[in-house]
Structure 1
Amino acid sequence: MEDGSGFWIAAVLATFCVGASKGGMPVIAMLGVPMLTLFVAPAAAAGLLLPMYILADVYAIWLFRRDFSPRNLKILIPAAAVGILLAFLCISRVPPEIGKLIVALVGLYYLGDTLRKWLARDHAARPADVPRGLFWGALSGFTSYISHAGGPPYQAYTLPQMMPKMTFVGTQAIVFACINWMKLPPYIVAGQVTWESLQRVAMLAPVALFGAWSGQRLVRWLPERIFYGVVRAALGLLSLRLLWEVAQAWGWL
Structure 2
Amino acid sequence: MELTLATILATFASVLLICFMKGAFGGGFSIVGIPLLSLVMDPVTAGGLLAPLFIAMDLYALRYWKPSTWSKPDLALLVPGLLTGIGIGYMLFRVLDHRAIAIVMAAVTLIFVGLWFVGGGKVAIRPRSSPKAIGAGVASGISTMVAHSGGPPLAMYLLPLGLSKEVYAGTTSLFFTVGNATKAVPWLLLVHPTTTVWILMAICLPAIPIGVWLGWRLHGRLDQGQVYRTCYGLLVVTALKLLWDGVSGYLV
Query: TM-score, with normalisation over the residues of structure 2?
Result: 0.92
> In structure 2, how many angstroms separate the alpha carbons of the residues matched to 1:35 and 1:234?
17
Cross-structure match for 2:45: 44
CA deviation string 1:67-124 (max 9, x = no partner): 11001110111100111111111111112212311321231121122134338xx864
Cross-structure match for 1:92: 94
Cross-structure match for 2:225: 225
Q: How does 1:53-68 map to 2 (within 5 A)?
A: 53-65=54-66, 66-68=68-70
> In structure 1, how many angstroms separate the alpha carbons of the residues matched to 2:29 and 2:170?
16
Q: How does 1:1-253 map to 2 (within 5 A)?
A: 1-25=1-25, 28-65=29-66, 66-118=68-120, 124-193=124-193, 196-251=196-251
Give ranges in structure 2 of 5+ residues lacking alignment: none
Mark the CA change 1:74 to 1:181 in structure 2 (over 3 Å): closer, same or farther. same
> In structure 1, how many angstroms separate the alpha carbons of the residues matched to 2:123 and 2:4?
51
Mark the CA change 1:148 to 1:203 in structure 2 (over 3 Å): closer, same or farther. same
> In structure 1, how many angstroms separate the alpha carbons of the residues matched to 2:250 and 2:81?
31
> In structure 1, how many angstroms separate the alpha carbons of the residues matched to 2:149 and 2:216?
21
Mark the CA change 1:157 to 1:28 in structure 2 (over 3 Å): closer, same or farther. closer
> In structure 1, how many angstroms separate the alpha carbons of the residues matched to 2:199 and 2:248?
33
Q: Is the 8 A contact 2:58 2:176 kept in 1?
A: yes
Between the two proteins, the alignment pairs up a number of residues equal to 250
CA deviation string 1:169-201 (max 9, x = no partner): 000000001000110111121134455433322
Q: Is the 8 A contact 2:70 2:167 kept in 1?
A: yes
Give 1:127's aligned amino acid: P
Give 1:163's aligned amino acid: L
> In structure 2, how many angstroms separate the alpha carbons of the residues matched to 1:146 and 1:238?
15
Mark the CA change 1:177 to 1:27 in structure 2 (over 3 Å): closer, same or farther. closer
Q: Which ranges of 4 or more aligned residues in structure 1 deviate by more than 6 Å? A: none
CA deviation string 1:199-228 (max 9, x = no partner): 322221110221011111101111111111
Give 2:163's aligned amino acid: M
> In structure 2, how many angstroms separate the alpha carbons of the residues matched to 1:14 and 1:123?
30
> In structure 2, how many angstroms separate the alpha carbons of the residues matched to 1:210 and 1:192?
28
| RMSD over aligned Cα atoms | 1.9
Give ranges in structure 1 of 5+ residues lacking alignment: none
- Please give the secondary structure, in 2, of the residue aligned with 1:24: helix
Q: Is the 8 A contact 1:83 1:141 kept in 2?
A: yes
Q: Is the 8 A contact 2:28 2:154 kept in 1?
A: no
Once the two structures are aligned, what percentage of the paired residues are identical?
26
> In structure 2, how many angstroms separate the alpha carbons of the residues matched to 1:198 and 1:3?
11
